[in-house]
Structure formats: structure tokens, C-alpha cells
Amino acid sequence: MSKVISSSLGYPRIGEMREWKRALENYWNGESTQEELIAKTDEIRLNNLKKQKEFGLDLIPVGEFSLYDHVLDTSATFGIVPERYNYKGGKVDVDTYFAMARGVKDAVASEMTKWFNTNYHYMVPELDHAKPELVENRALAYYKEAKEKLGIDGKPVILGPITYLKLSKGYEPEQFASLLNQFVPLYVQILKELAEAGATWVQIDEPIFSTNASSEVIEYAKEVYGTFSKEVPGIKIIFQTYFERLFNYKEITELPVAAIGIDFVHGKESLAQLKENGFPKDKVLAAGVIDGRNVWRADLDAKFDLVEAIKEHVSEDRLIIQPSCSVLHVPVSKKPEEKLDSVILGGLSFADEKLQEIVSLTKAANEGREAAKAAFEDSKKALEAVNASHRSNEDVKKSTANLTAADAERAQPFAERIKAQDERFNLPLLPTTTIGSLPQTAVVKQTRTKWRKGEISDAQYETFVKDNIKKWVEIQEELDIDVLVHGEFERNDMVEYFGEKLKGFGVTQYGWVQSYGSRCVKPPLIFGDVYWEEPITVKESVYAQSLTSRPMKGMLTGPCTILNWSFVHDNASEATVMNQIGLAIRKEIEALEEAGIKIIQVDEPALREGLPLDKTKWEEYLDAAAYAFRLSTATVQADTQIHTHMCYSNFKDIFDAIDALDADVISIETSRSHGELVQTFEDNTYTKEIGLGVYDIHSPRVPSVGEVKHNITRALNTISPKQFWVNPDCGLKTRKEKETIDALKVMVQAAKEAREEVLQEQK
């Protein structure tokens, strides 16, 4: 390699118009055959590769495409299938693969949790009784496909064995080494087969080494990659990390691999590490210099300066320029956007645009800044236009600048508040509720689309929403649920909806990003100071409350989640933006309370997700997140009950922060982790009220009364029945109506049986 080359780490799976999502869901719904599913996803994958070739990337990743999740793909590669799916060995078929992801009638889905500090969810491998073997070399198949069909000598992407095992469950810490020894020969086999097929570069993703956990496994890395080097000397391995700086920089850069991939964007200390320690002369540095996780256009002049600073320590023939991580985490292309403000649109860079930025930077690195003059000037003009546009609000700046600790404290402690709330609501023991959203059927989505296109009037749409609210209030009453929700039929997404209503935000038409499986979200854009202008949710909540004498929850999204699930302009301080959002949500809470809504849920599912990978930075982040939440809820009366909700997190890491939110009731997912979360509450004292989700809404299967009751009973061994609420583990918008009603019926029945048993014990 005689010059700087360009590369990428991975590309979005979903297609420009979410063709991948539709292909999956058509298959799951029985509307297409497996052959049609495979043909369509093959087409999407090849189009993705073709596009990257046309951009002029030197190293194009292959094998990172997935039918659901790349961690699940790794499990399937090695035949890691839990016993409950009756897997008999050999290549994991498509339906078994989807069963692990979604569950089937007689087998619950595998646990799902966040991929490091992103909003992407992966399927947690279960290694109980695992006997790994290489049942399918997916990397080889995709490498050959790209080479034979498109003439692309691709860079196979594989999830590394150490990260895979650290993300898995079902083994004791002392078993780690023996398990790793079972996987290493299988990885060697994959690499040998790739070498025989002609592959030169292989990207092995080891993001665990961008966390503090790397210190525990650094010696294993030396052994594992030493084995790879010895057994497959012809393959050039890129040891790829991302999302943070390298921990154990010196040890990692000395590993016997051809290249080290380092994040120079979110790893803010990476350049300093490079300057202080240098870089081995015999290795290539794969430098992540374009942000793979945010959508704002790069300042190419500043990025070129960064590349030049890196080149002071790494020769041109040993440098790869690439994104900071896979561009899986951003939308595909901004080309389809037609309605977004032209200035904001000009300041955006989605996956396709980011890869073109990489190519322009590489050209400039090889030939000088002038060689990419047009791209650099276009970048400069676009960013200057964004920075000069409607971004600043002096009143908002003043309100956040003068905040104090007292601004985020409720007037009464929980012990006093809960007495006032119990007296007001008079709920039964083990009260039942749902998390907020109810099924968004095809008709709901189609009607919203018609309204947005102007095909139906505002009045017609409002009537439609009211009809759905009325229908589901009646269903909830028939099911005998204690605290009701209006269903959120007017909302497209729990963050995007608020992005449409609050000032300082912009929203895209097609800016979709995969969250889990076929579920995609469209994060709003925060480009300016955030503030509240008028009520957002009051009309629907008040209408729903008018239909029932039971308490109706007002449903809001919290400041930390809105921040983490939006694309925030990188000139903004995240803590400041979070407080601005907190003050805006406070005004909405006050409007709900004034309108008579006395139970208000402020969801924070992204609280843990935003944790820095460096644990030494946790306290600062968690303090800021808890403060912003309390800021939003501090002004309510004692008898107004504040709920919050979180899902799919390792809650033991943030237990103190959960307590610091000072919410009256918190609901948390626990069903997919099979009750393991309860352990956190067995080990810690929690004095407020809590609902541990008793069944999994991300799976279409309906649980049995026994399953749900088991989850309730286990929780009651630790949590007082006076504290405990019964609810699903998350919102129900993705579920079908019949399965939702059937599952809620089971949940209520299980709660009633458990309630009766508790009351009998108390006599």
C-alpha cells in the first residue's frame, strides 16, 4: 500500500426506503415466501455494495449485512442455539434464526439489550451447554458473492471472539478462558477459508476494548491474535474498535495484527494517545475521523487538519481513513428529503454522504487539500449557513444558565407524596397498567400518511384518532386494567413526535435508522435552542380521561431520552440541551396537571444507553441526566404521581441514578432477561414503587398465566406488594391487536390471582 486508502466499517441494512423492513415483515406475516425474502434481501445487499464501489471506496466491508442482527448472526455461525428451539445441528435455518429473535409459541425469544451506548439492540447469546462448531462461514459466502457478482475484493467483517463472549450470558467468569479456547480454532478456520478464497484484509470488530473491561481480557487478546497471526499469516487483520478511545493503548497497538482501528471522533483522547505513545512502524492505523453516529456534515477543513496531525505519527502508506464506526447508526441517504429546510438539509450528512466525505478526505490526504477543493468549499459554505441560521434563543439561554439544585427538587419527599397519591387514586394491591403506546395498525399508519399528504382534513384525522382512543379505553376497561393510557395513536414515535412539536428541532421524511429487528426509528434533529411553545399532548389525554372514571396516564418522553435519540448538532453542550428539554417538558407537565391529568409518565428508556463507555465519566453523565429529569417533574403537586419507564439495560450499573430520578413509580423490562433483573433489587433497597415488566412485547407470542404469574411471584419475594405494579415490559405499538388483547388478558388474570394470594397471606 503506497498511499492513504479509504474504507468503511459497515453500511445500513434497511435500504433507502426501508425495503429490508418490508421484506422481513412480509415474510413474518405470511405474505411472501422464504425464497422471496432471500431474493429481496440479496438485492438490497448487492445494491449497497454497488453504491459503495461507485463512491470510490478502496476497502468495502462485506459480511456485515444481516437479516436481523449481527450478534445473532455470529451465534448462528457457530450453532449457538438455545435448547428450547429444538435445534438439531447443522446450518441454522431461517425460521430457527427468527425464533431466537422473536420467540415462538413454546419458546421465548432470546434476551435483547443495547449495543454498547447506542440505540441499536442486539440479541444476547446464550452459552449454557454451548458446543460451538462452524456450521456456516457467512463471511466467506459474502466475500465470494461480492467478488463474483460485483468484482469487489471486499473486506470481510467478523465480530471478534472476545467481544462476542463478553456480550454473552450463561457462563461463569471462570469459564471464560475455556469457552474462548473452543471458539478460537473456529475463527482460525473462518480466516483460513477466507485466505484460500483470496481475501487480503479482514476486519475483526472488538469494541469491548473501548471499555474499561479491556483490562480484564488484554492477555486473552495477546493469545488469541497471536494464534491468528501464527495460523493464518497471509490474512491482514484489522483489530477494529469504536465508540470510545482505546483502553490499554500500548498493549493493543502491540498486538500481532496488520492494523488497529481507532475512533478519533468519540474517542476524544485518541489523538493525545497517539502523540504521547506513537504508533508501531509495522502497522496500519485505520483512523475513524468522520462521525459514524451523527448526521451533521463534517467540517472537512478541520478533519483534514486532524488527518495531517495523525500523519505526523503514521506514514501515508500506513494510514486508512474511515468513519468512527459503522454507518449503520445513521440514515442511508439525504437525497430523498424534499421538505426539510434547505439550510438544515445542506448541513446534513447521512451514510452515503459520509462515505463521500471519506473519499474526499482521502483524496486530499494523498494529493493535497486543493485536490478536493470543491468538496471542502461546499462543506464550509453549508456549515456557515447552518451556524448563521435560526439557532439561538437568548431567553432559553438565560433560563438554563441560572438553574440551581433547588430548581430540580419536588416540594415534598416521596414518603409524604405517596400518602397523598394513595388517598387520591385508591388503587388495588398490585395495580395493572400498560407502558403507554397501543397497537399502531396498518390502518393507523395509513391514515396518518394520508393526513400528512393532505388527502384527509385535520378534522377527519382528529376524529379518527379520537375513535381509536375511545375504542381502546373501552377495551382496557373490559380487561379491567386499573390505570389506563390513551394509546398514542396521534404519534409516529415517542421522540420524533416531540421533535415535531418543540422548537429548536427539525424532522426528516426518510431519516430512518434500525433500532432492533425490523423496527426503525427516525431521530429528530436538534439544531438550535430547545423550548416549549404550546401544549403538545393535553388534548388527547384530556379526551381519554373524559371517557373513563379510572386514572388516565399522561404520556411524555424524558429529556435524556429525547437527547440520546435525537441527532444533536455537535456545537451544542449535551448537558445544556438536556436541561433545555427538561424545562420544555416541565411546561407540558404543568399543562397536563392543570387540565386534570394526575398520573404523568415521563419515559427515560435511554438513560443507561447514554453512559460513556469509560466508567470514570459515568458519575458526571448520570448526575446531569437525573437533574434534567427532576427539572422536568419538580413543580407538580404532591398528589400528582410521576411515573417513568426504562427498558433493556443492565440496571445494576445505574441503580443509584434510578433512585435519584425521584419518580414515584418506575417500570422496567425484565421478561427477556427471565427475571434476572430482579437480582438487582434483591441486592439493593428501593423504597419507591416499581413495575418489573412481566411479559415480553417484542415477541408476537402470548404468554401463559403461569409464566406471567411466575415473574410476579419472583419479584414479590424481594419487593413489597404495596410497591409493586404489574405491566408489560414496554409499549405495545408494534404488536397486533388480537395478540395485545390476549396478552393483556393473561397479565390481568395473573395479577388478580397473585393479588388474591397476597391478600390471603395477609389475613
Min mean pLDDT across 202-211, 467-476, 558-567, 669-678 is at 669-678
- Count of CB atoms situated within 10 Å of the CB of 430: 25
Amino acid at 568: V
Q: Is pLDDT above 60 for 527?
A: yes
Known binding residues for Zn(2+): 645, 647, 669, 730
642-657 as b/e: b if 16+ CB within 10 A = bbbbbbbbebeebeeb
Query: Which grid cell sits at 389?
Result: 441560521
Look at residue 674 and tell me whether its pLDDT is greater than 50: no
pLDDT mean over 172-185: 96
Q: Which residues contact 434 (CB under 8 A, 6 or more apart)?
A: 476, 481, 485, 727, 728, 731, 732, 744
Mean pLDDT of all residues in 171-191: 97
Instruction: Give yes or no for residue 648 having a pLDDT over 60.
Output: no
Say how far apart CA 340 and CA 347 lie, in whole Å: 11
**388 pLDDT tier (thresholds 50, 70, 90):** confident
Beta-sheet pairing, 519-521 with 513-516? antiparallel
pLDDT of residue 101: 96
Give which of 466, 659, 631, 644 is closest to 553, Cα–Cα. Answer: 644
Q: What are the C-alpha distances in Å from 343 to residues 35, 187, 198, 526?
A: 44, 48, 46, 14
The percentage of the chain sitting over the pLDDT mark of 90, rounded to a whole number, equals 82
Helical ranges in 236-330 per DSSP H? 249-253, 270-277, 300-311
Alpha helices, DSSP H, located in 402-558: 414-425, 442-452, 458-479, 496-501, 538-546
Residues catalogued as catalytic: 698
How many residues are present in the chain?
Answer: 763
The CB-side HSE value for 696 (13 A sphere, CA atoms) comes to: 24
CA distance 732 to 736: 8
Q: What is the pLDDT of residues 720-744, one digit of tens each?
A: 999 999 999 888 898 999 999 999 9
Between residues 189 and 659, which one has the greater pLDDT?
189
Mean pLDDT of 256-263: 98
Binding site: what residues are annotated?
18-21, 114, 435-437, 488, 519-520, 565, 603, 609, 645, 647, 669, 730
Q: Which residue has the higher pLDDT, 668 or 679?
A: 668
- In this prediction, residues 663-668 reach a mean pLDDT of 92
pLDDT tens per residue, range 47-77: 999 999 999 999 999 999 999 999 999 999 9
For the stretch 14-21, contacts whose Cβ atoms lie closer than 8 Å and that sit 24 or more positions apart, written own/partner, are: 14/332, 14/512, 14/513, 14/514, 14/520, 15/44, 15/47, 15/332, 16/332, 16/333, 16/335, 16/336, 16/510, 17/336, 17/510, 18/512, 18/520, 19/44, 20/44, 20/518, 21/518, 21/520
- C-alpha angle 604-609-612 in degrees, rounded to nearest 5: 130
In this predicted structure, what is the pLDDT of residue 493?
A: 87
pLDDT of res. 675: 54
The C-alpha atoms of residue 319 and residue 417 are separated, in whole angstroms, by: 60
DSSP 655-683: HHHHHHT--SEEEE--TTTTTTTHHHHHH
CB proximity list for 478: less than 8 A, separation 6 or greater: none
Its CATH architecture, for the domain 5-18+45-388, is: Alpha-Beta Barrel (3.20)
For residue 270, CA distances in Å to 1, 58, 267 come to 24, 24, 5
Residue 737: Cβ-neighbour burial (10 angstroms; 0-12, 13-18, 19+) = middle
Which residues define the annotated binding site for 5-methyltetrahydropteroyltri-L-glutamate?
18-21, 114, 519-520, 565, 609
- By CB neighbour count within 10 A (0-12 exposed, 13-18 middle, 19+ buried), where does 635 fall? middle
Q: What is the rounded CA–CA span in Å between residue 575 and residue 590? A: 22
Tell me what percent of the chain is helix, strand and coil, each rounded to the nearest 5.
45, 15, 40
| DSSP letters spanning 65-99 | --SS-HHHHHHHHTT---GGG---SSSPPHHHHHH
Where does the pLDDT of residue 762 fall: very low under 50, low under 70, confident under 90, or very high at 90 and above?
Answer: confident
C-alpha cell at 605: 428508556
For residue 328, the 8-state DSSP code is G
Q: On the CB side of 308, how many CA atoms lie within 13 Å of its CA? A: 10
Pairing mode of beta strands 236-240, 259-263: parallel
Contact by Cβ (8 Å): 202, 191: yes
Report the half-sphere exposure of 298 (CA within 13 A, side-chain side). 31
Mean pLDDT, residues 278-286: 97
| 574 grid coordinates | 449535551
Q: Which residues contact 205 (CB under 8 A, 6 or more apart)?
A: 9, 157, 158, 159, 160, 163, 240, 242
Rounded-to-integer distance, Cα 271 and Cα 282, Å:
19
* Long-range CB contacts (within 8 A, 24+) of 13-16: 13/44, 13/45, 13/48, 13/65, 13/66, 13/328, 13/514, 14/332, 14/512, 14/513, 14/514, 14/520, 15/44, 15/47, 15/332, 16/332, 16/333, 16/335, 16/336, 16/510
DSSP-assigned letters across all residues of 370-384: GGGHHHHHHHHHHHH
Residues 308-321 have pLDDT tens digits of 999 999 999 999 99
Share of the chain above pLDDT 70, in %: 97
Is 649's pLDDT higher than 70?
no
Residue 336 C-alpha from the chain's centroid: 24
Binding residues for L-homocysteine: 435-437, 488, 603
| Chain centroid to CA 312 | 36
Please provide the CATH number assigned to the domain covering 431-762: 3.20.20.210
Q: Average pLDDT, stretch 687-711?
A: 87
For residue 400, what is the enclosing H or E element? helix 394-401
Q: Which of 212, 210, 209 is nearest to 224 (CA)?
A: 209
- Cell 473456529, residue? 186
User: Does the pLDDT of residue 179 top 80, yes or no?
Assistant: yes
pLDDT of the residue at 676: 58
- 237 residue type, one letter: I
Q: What is the predicted pLDDT for the residue at 673?
A: 54
Which whole-number Å values give the CA distances from 117 to 64, 194, 240, 286, 622, in the listed order? 19, 31, 17, 22, 13
What ranges do the domains of the chain cover? 5-18+45-388, 431-762
Give dist(CA 722, CA 754) in Å, integer: 13
- CA 602 to CA 666: how far, in whole Å? 10
Cβ contact 263:243 at 8 Å: yes
- Rounded CA gap, 19 and 26, in Å? 11
Strand ranges, E, within 216-277: 236-240, 259-263
Which sign does the torsion angle of CA 313, 318, 320, 321 carry? Answer: positive
pLDDT of residue 208: 97
Please say whether the beta carbons of 692 and 677 come within 8 A: yes
